[in-house]
Amino acid sequence: MKFSSYEDVEAPVAFVFDAVTDIAGFERAALRRGVDLKRLDALTVPGPGMSWDVAFRFRGKKRKLIADIIRLEHPEQIEFSAVSTSFDLTLKASTMALSRRRTRLTIALELRPRSLGARLMLQSAKLGRGNLKHKFADRVRIFSQDIETRAAVSAPSTGA
């Protein structure tokens, strides 16, 4: 199952890409939501090879996965891969400069089943695909608005 959405953000491409690759910020947000994270690497700068052991509760069950950064091309694209017992996930975020102060942010998520049970779960999720697509697009929009807000706060004022 694939989901994809894009938003045009009122911020320079480098600022948007820095927000997308703010690994420490995402780790803090996950911890606030009750996700157990354990870094599996010793890298200090985001890049291929960064890896996490992730555990969280979803629909009443404890879920575990291993997530890795598999590609990072500054300032155009970052790609994550995650593997659990039931699913393979790929998350790609890409940026494209539309002008000096406007950037298109595209986020794509692909979920592939690894078991018969997972295949059945995805099949039933496809019945509500429209609702899931809207929720995904809403999350991308909210993230983009947050980036715009941070860009507006950090931009130097041009008043006289």
Q: What is the pTM of this model?
A: 0.89
Structure tokens at 118: 């997972």
- Residue-wise pLDDT tens digits, 81-100: 999 999 999 999 999 999 99
Give the residue-averaged pLDDT of 103-120.
96
* Rounded distance between C-alpha atoms, residue 62 and residue 56, angstroms: 6
* Rounded distance between C-alpha atoms, residue 96 and residue 26, angstroms: 22
- Residue-wise pLDDT tens digits, 124-160: 888 889 999 999 999 999 999 999 999 999 877 555 4
Q: Which CATH architecture has domain 2-152?
A: 2-Layer Sandwich (3.30)
Structure tokens at 155: 């931009």
The conformational region for residue 64 under phi > 0 = left, psi -120 to 50 = alpha, else beta, is beta
